[in-house]
Amino acid sequence: MTELRKLYPAYGAYRTGYLDTGDGHQIYWELCGNPKGKPAVFLHGGPGGGISSYHRQLFDPEHYHIMLFDQRGCGRSKPHASLDNNTTWHLVDDIERLRNLMGVEKWLVFGGSWGSTLSLAYAEKHPERVSELVLRGIFLFRPQELHWYFQEGASRFFPEKWERTLSILTEEERTDVIASYHKKLTSDDMQVQLEAARLWSLWEGETVTLLPSEHADSFTEDMFALAFARIENHYFINNGFMDENQQLLDNIEVIRHIPTIIIHGRYDMACQVQNAWELAKALPEAELHIVEGAGHSSDEAGILHQLIKATDKFIGK
């Protein structure tokens, strides 16, 4: 049996800073690895999830030069949990600013979950700037995907966890969970915001892995939960700021020349495996890996194995 690949040993950033977007945001960024290595950018999930130090370890530091950053309003970026000037297309512009700051012509783009959405949006707007795509836990931001995860679908597999998520909503409010949570997450009462943020974030924390995770409770930490829930809900209620329901699939032709690896857990409850299948059908040149015995999270052994194999494959390309 093939030994599963694991994260590279921990290593730090050699340079960090803040990018002033000019419209009220300060984006925290860090550069890691070999300054002469293959350029790559890591796009975190959420929206609103932020980066963690272990994200660096998805790349071989001897061969990659990696840009990681906290998207608007989350992690160490400022102002915290801000929804102002915070859309998909603001983030796409931020990625371009960071590429210019790094001083590279093109780079490998790596994104999981919402990061896969943002990777596709960026690649479709700037295909000449993307050398390869590594996409995990595909989320195409179509209405049916939102309905599955925050209305009817995933709730059938986690009834007790879904009941807890609904506990602060009236029967009437439960007919549109995303809209009802939006009112609470943008309330003038910070306690109302926090209560809703913890419940929204815990739902995700407890449903993104095939088996229960010891890290799920970290989703309820106040600062993380507030940014994660507010920003994610803000994007959800605005349909990801996409022009059309299938915008990412409809525009796929412009990136068919980009070498792409798609990785998705068979039992992903947050983003169904059908999303990856449909993306791979639209991108027949892509390499698709459906990981058995895995859910949504990059922490799961089979998914992590494929992610490391993917970044290793593109070394020297």
Amino acid at 302: G
The residue from 234, 264, 289, 296 that is catalytic is 296
The residue from 268, 297, 298, 305 that is catalytic is 268
Does residue 296 carry a catalytic annotation? yes
Closest CA to 110 of 92, 138, 133, 140: 133
Does residue 53 carry a catalytic annotation? no
- Count of residues for the chain? 317
Please state at what angle helix 190-205 crosses helix 177-185, rounded to 10 degrees.
140
The residue from 82, 113, 201, 213 that is catalytic is 113
Contact 103, 31 (CB under 8 A): no
Q: Write the CA distances from 216 to 67, 192, 231, 272, integer angstroms.
A: 27, 21, 19, 20
> By CB neighbour count within 10 A (0-12 exposed, 13-18 middle, 19+ buried), where does 191 fall?
exposed
Does residue 113 carry a catalytic annotation? yes
Contact 115, 140 (CB under 8 A): no
Residues with a known catalytic role: 113, 268, 296
